[in-house]
Every structure is written in C-alpha cells, then in structure tokens.
Amino acid sequence: MVFRNLIPSPVLEGQAAEEFSQITYGAEHAKSLYGDADAHVVRVSSIVSKMIPYSLKWNERAKNWKWDVAVVRSTDIRMYCLPGGKIVVYSGLLDRVRLNDNELGMLIGHEIAHALREHARERLGQLQSSQLDSSGTIPQLFGLADLGAAPLGIGSRLLEMKYENTDETEADVIGSDIASRAGFDPRAAVTLWDKLADATRGDRDRGFIYVHPYTPARRADIIKRLPDMLPLYAKAIGKSVDALPDYAGMGRPRRKTARD
C-alpha cells in the first residue's frame, strides 16, 4: 500500500494552510510574529524566492502553491515547510545557531524538499493506516477523513514526527539540488548539520537532529554527493568548479576517474 494515497494532497494542503493561518494568528496575537519588513523575514523570504523556480519540477502541484513565510520570535531552534509551501521559522534558529546564508539556504532547501516529496503525507498516511478498524474502514484521524473538519495541527505533528532515513536521504539530495541551483554552496550542508547537532543534541523530544536523524552515515553521504552538487552551484554563480574558493577546509571534491 502507498500510504500517502490515504490522504489526498488537496486535503492536506488545505488543512496545512489553515494551520499556518492559526500559527501566524496566534503569534501575532502574542506579539511574537515578525513583520514583513523585519530583517529576519526579509532574509528568509529572499532565500525562499530564489529557490521556488528550481522546486517546481519536483512536484507538479507546486506551481500552484501559494508560498508564504512566517518568522516567529522564540528561543526554539526549529523550522518546517508545511504541505503547500507554508514555511515557518522560529527565530532561535537564526539568532542562536547563527547560520550563514549558505547554511540557511541548504536548510530551507531541505525543508522544502520534504514538502515537495510529501514525506509528511506519507508518514501521516502510515499512522492513519494503523488505525484501520476491524471493518476495514479508516476512522477520522486529525480530521483527515472529513474535508470540513478542524485543522489537523500538522505543525505540531511535523515537529513530533521523526522522518525516516529514506526521507532524509531524499530531502538531502533534492534540497541540495534546489539550493545549489539557486546559488547556495552545497558544502554548507555539512557545517549546517554539524551546527544543528551541537545545538539540539540535548533536546531528545524535539531536537532537530532527532526529528531529522543525523547519523555518521548520513553525514558521509552528504559529503559523497558534493562532486555532483558543486557544478550546479558553480554554474549558478558564474564560475568554474576550479575557481570556487575553499569552504570550511573541504576544498572542491570531485568524482574519482578511472585514471585515479
């Protein structure tokens, strides 16, 4: 069974949009929502706008998404892209981890990739499938079976949800492809996840590296794919790979040839 088929994309995207509205309304009411002119919002929105054109090929529905960005004042280190292109960033990610633009670009690309490939839809579909009753019908879960139901709270569900290793691999590959084409250095993915590991390792309930498992094998895979991503980045900024400056001591990784 393909679990995502249990939850129609329009349903999930529609309810995610409602959830996004509730998140932003609550943050605004608490005076913790940054305005559009704030530097946090301008920075994130600028990065997202550069990535949208390179995102569309990964999901045929994405060309009709109404992309939106909200930055919430909070000490929490988290962000997510809801189905339908609604992006929520908590300012602790920007202020405490102090990501450079390449690192933030790699993270935003990664989160957008999760949404494009519908990983949340797959995981929620698995959960819904597990609720099959003896008659073989699927009960309402998070309101998913009823188009008129209340919002499903997917924002919190995404934070509680642990993505699987296959999800992370796909989001790493596609997210890096998108971000590299948009002009962000793919080598920054390594320093990004190392920083997030250092910053969130102590939070086993909601820490970024537990929601997005970061293992030595995953780190090695990110490095192994750099020779494929660097040419995309180099082209985006109008340079050859040979002309790229060093980044964090990683040099310019290349594929080994038969002569090597």
By CB atoms closer than 10 A (0-12, 13-18, 19+), residue 210 is: middle
Reported as a single tens digit per residue, the pLDDT across 34-92 is: 999 999 999 999 999 999 999 999 998 889 999 999 999 999 998 989 889 999 999 99
Report the share of the chain in percent with pLDDT over 70. Answer: 77
By CB atoms closer than 10 A (0-12, 13-18, 19+), residue 67 is: middle
d(CA 94, CA 113): 20
- pLDDT beyond 50 at 233: yes
Reported as a single tens digit per residue, the pLDDT across 91-105 is: 999 999 999 999 999
- pLDDT beyond 50 at 249: yes
d(CA 210, CA 201): 8
Q: Where are the domains of the chain?
A: 1-133+154-238
